[in-house]
Chains A and B, each alone.
Chain A
Amino acid sequence: MTTPKRNFGEQAGLGLFLLLSTALLLLAIAAGTGIGEMPIPLDTTFLAVTNKFGWTAADLDPIHQSVIWDYRLSRAIVAACCGAGLALCGAILQSLLRNALAEPYVLGVSAGASTGAVAIMILGFGSGVLTLSAGAFVGAFAAFIFVALLSDGARAGAGKTILAGVAASQLFNALTSYVVSTSGNAQQARDVMFWLLGSFGGVRWPEFYLALTVVIVGFLVCIYFAKALDAFAFGDDAAASLGIPVDTVRVVLFAVTALLTATIVSMVGSIGFVGLVVPHAARFIVGPSHMRLLPTCLVTGAIFMVLADIVSRVILPQQVLPIGVVTALVGVPFFSVILYRSQRSQ
């Protein structure tokens, strides 16, 4: 029988792939740390990091040291966490709702987060970055609860859940526009616009701890349910007839994706397309089995976002593009190629 051997081969292949892509991720983070407006030599970059760990004690320009450690490294790692988290959410929602178009924003979570953040920015409930995040978080969860109530805890079926998400998006986007157009001035409108398209500009180490914790916890929960997600391929009843507690799995995983999205959106604004594209790309690489798909999404999502962030910083001199613009501009052509090739191969 050749089957066990083949399984071993598959697993070794996945291991090798994950090892390689993790190396690639580290490389991307290193590039994200090294590349920027202020040119810093590679060895300085490296020493600035090892200095902080206490492994070296090189004498560096404190400005270089600070730019590398406090600004670029934290930014690159947070970008990696956000990319990983959004890709994970996309993979989970696509499987759970059995819809190729599902992604974090399908639940209207990002629209809710925007409303929350805008309410803080313009109506001025409290002030500062922290309260803005808190506002976004409250808004995100309000949208999630709205969708959960409207779709009977997602029990009403995939189609209705997506419709509920669309309704939530419309409602919260309308609320955001209402607030902006009735209470904001031109500058505020511009700020809101920039925030809505996403930016890693404000992130530092405190965001890193939060993002890393949420992504790791979310990933572990999702991996625990990986086989259950496989069982959803043929629908809810098929999963239930394989002994999967369908309602529990659904509620837990929706809560995890809402938590992840709310955390990410409240930190860096709403970044589109990563949650949609990366899971599809990952499926082409490792197939639909979630034990393989979820780790692959995690790593490729992280790489994609770090690279997108580099592009957003260097493509225009003296200016940082909103990250959402880059993910869409890079993502759409990339996605088109995948879609075109998959149609050709069928």
Chain B
Amino acid sequence: MTIEAKNLTWKIGAKVVVDNVSLKAQPGKILGLLGPNGSGKSSLLRLLAGLRKAHSGTITLDGKDIGHIKRNAVARRVALVEQHANTESNVRVREVVKLGRIPHHPPLGGWTKADDDIVDSALARVGMLERQGQYWQSLSGGERQRVHIARALAQSPSELLLDEPTNHLDIQHQIELLRLISDISLTSIISIHDLNHAAMFCDDLVVLDRGKVVAHGAPADILTADLLHTVFRVEAIVERSPHHGKPHIHYMR
């Protein structure tokens, strides 16, 4: 059960946004996408979710070309949590999570008890079951992200794609959310800005710069002072943390 990209290229007009990217997500592991703003992380995630069509290259799900799989069949397998997807609509938490069951039914198809159970367990998984009747507008940023993750889980996916899910959250909610994602143990691809969080929670990392993959491997192998200097233009010292054993980055003034 895995998602793999080979030589993906995607452009907006003449601008190459994703440039010949290849990557492979390990089943049940978290793959982190790192890179400066505008390095193509979000675009790559949208390509992987099948929302955009690559100009060249292929994306495969278990070896099958995503272009040959029907839209709703892809949606039953790959769930995307966007960065701050918001609505003006006066929906309740449970209704948002129920959206995740849409790809599992024909347009007029019936809702069953099994669907209710899946929605319940997705809500319970993110700790929002008790608040399922609450209105979307009354939720905080962290709660909204958890509801989006519950909606993604209700799709019963085997791959979970998350676009900067911790953006704009306070530190407590960032750690809480990343812990939740790593506990879910689906094959996950997550774009993230905080390099220390990436080192702590991701099993593998892909570093993008101007659309190109500049490093791919385990955090301990690729997070080096050199890489941080060339890609992010910062001076830093990378050490192995005596507390959690993962790389830890000290930024220098």
Contact = CB atoms under 8 A, between A and B. Distances in A.
Interface stretch (A127-135, A181-189, A220-228): A220-228
Q: How large is the interface on A (under 10, 10 to 19, 20 to 34, 35 or more residues)?
A: 20 to 34
A70 B75 CA distance: 54
A13 interface: no
A225 B108 CA distance: 8
Contacts of B95: 230, 287-289
A241 B90 contact: no
A231 interface: yes
A228 B107 contact: yes
Contacts of A241: 49, 51, 75, 78-80, 82
A100 B90 CA distance: 12
B91 interface: yes
Contacts of B49: 241
Contact of B89 (A226, A227, A233): A233
A172 to B, nearest CB: 29
Interface stretch (B97-105, B178-186, B197-205): B97-105
Contact of B116 (A4, A223, A240, A242): A4
B168 interface: no
Contacts of A98: 87-88
Given A234-B85, A237-B82, A7 B103 contact: no
B99 A242 contact: yes
B72 interface: yes
Interface residues of B, number: 39
Contacts of B91: 233, 287-288
A241 B66 CA distance: 13
A243 B152 CA distance: 12
Interface string A292-319: 0000000000000000000000000000
A3 B111 CA distance: 12
A183 to B, nearest CB: 44
Given A227-B102, A227-B105, A237-B85, 9 more contacts: A4-B116, A98-B88, A100-B88, A234-B87, A234-B99, A235-B85, A245-B71, A287-B91, A288-B89
Interface of A: 1, 3-4, 7, 95, 98, 100, 223-228, 230-231, 233-235, 237-238, 240-245, 283, 287-289, 346
16 contacts: A1-B117, A100-B88, A224-B107, A225-B107, A231-B99, A231-B102, A234-B85, A235-B82, A238-B85, A241-B51, A243-B102, A244-B72, A244-B102, A288-B89, A288-B90, A346-B137
